[in-house]
């Protein structure tokens, strides 16, 4: 059994559907492995789901973190986030993390805890981004940073969720641009 292959197969399956709708049996069949082999390697379905989420975070969510931690100004960073949410071809079926976050009550305790950790890290990254922009004089927003960070993260989540609903990409881009324009007002 190749762990990387199993994780890639499971990540794709969870990402294209709702993770709660994808059975371990289906993943085993797609990967051509036995259920005992999967459990031996990942411990449980929860262990597999958590490992998939970690892989997704490293491969996909890391790009959002890179935008937020980059050296670009407010406008350029917001445009990069808009590009990611509205144009990244991987987001056609939505975001696996947002799917897991929305359905976390159906996840195992290990994965649920990991979803919470990633969500907290994302909020901290949005807040640090806005604080850095405020410190640089690039953002004079009157909103408290925590509120603006939550708003920014939720607008990105909404745009990506709309992609999964087959909304028009140009319209998503336009609406997200409008939503994020409040961050550019003094």
Tens-place pLDDT, residues 144-161: 999 999 999 999 999 999
> Can you tell me the distance from the alpha carbon of 121 to that of 71, in angstroms, rounded to the nearest whole number?
19
Percent over 70 (pLDDT), the chain:
98
Token code pair at residue 82: 């808009």
Yes or no: say if 176 and 151 are a contact pair by the CB < 8 Å rule.
no
Q: Is the pLDDT of residue 15 over 80?
A: yes
Spacing of C-alpha 139 from chain mean position: 25
Q: Is the pTM of this model over 0.85?
A: yes
pLDDT digits (tens, 9 = 90+) for 116-129: 999 999 999 999 99
Q: Give the pLDDT mean for 53-78.
A: 95
Q: Is the pLDDT of residue 186 over 70?
A: no
pLDDT value of residue 105: 94
Taking alpha carbons only, the member of 60, 69, 89, 82 closest to residue 132 is 69
Q: Which CATH number fits domain 3-184: 2.70.50.60, 1.10.357.10, 3.40.720.10, 3.40.50.10490?
A: 1.10.357.10
What residues contact residue 28 under an 8 Å CB cut-off, 6+ apart?
34, 35, 37, 38
pLDDT bucket at 141, cuts 50 / 70 / 90: confident
102's enclosing H/E stretch is helix 96-102
User: Average pLDDT over the chain, rounded to whole?
Assistant: 94
């Amino acid at each position: 059994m190749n762990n990387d292959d199993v994780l890639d197969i499971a990540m794709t399956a969870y990402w294209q559907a709702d993770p709660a709708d994808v059975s371990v049996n289906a993943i085993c069949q797609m990967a051509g492995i036995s259920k005992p082999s999967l459990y031996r390697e990942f411990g449980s379905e929860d262990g597999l789901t958590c490992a998939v989420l970690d892989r997704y975070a490293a491969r996909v969510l890391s790009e959002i973190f890179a935008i937020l931690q980059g050296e670009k100004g407010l406008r350029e960073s917001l445009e990069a986030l808009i590009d990611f949410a509205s144009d990244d071809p991987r987001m056609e079926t939505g975001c696996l993390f947002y799917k897991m976050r929305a359905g976390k009550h159906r996840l195992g305790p290990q994965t649920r805890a990991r979803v919470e950790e990633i969500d907290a890290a994302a909020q901290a990254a949005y807040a640090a981004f806005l604080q850095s922009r405020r410190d640089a004089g690039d953002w004079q927003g009157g909103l408290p940073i925590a509120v603006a960070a939550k708003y920014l993260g939720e607008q990105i989540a909404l745009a990506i969720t709309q992609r999964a609903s087959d909304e028009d990409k140009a319209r998503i881009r336009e609406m997200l641009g409008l939503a994020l324009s409040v961050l550019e007002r003094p």
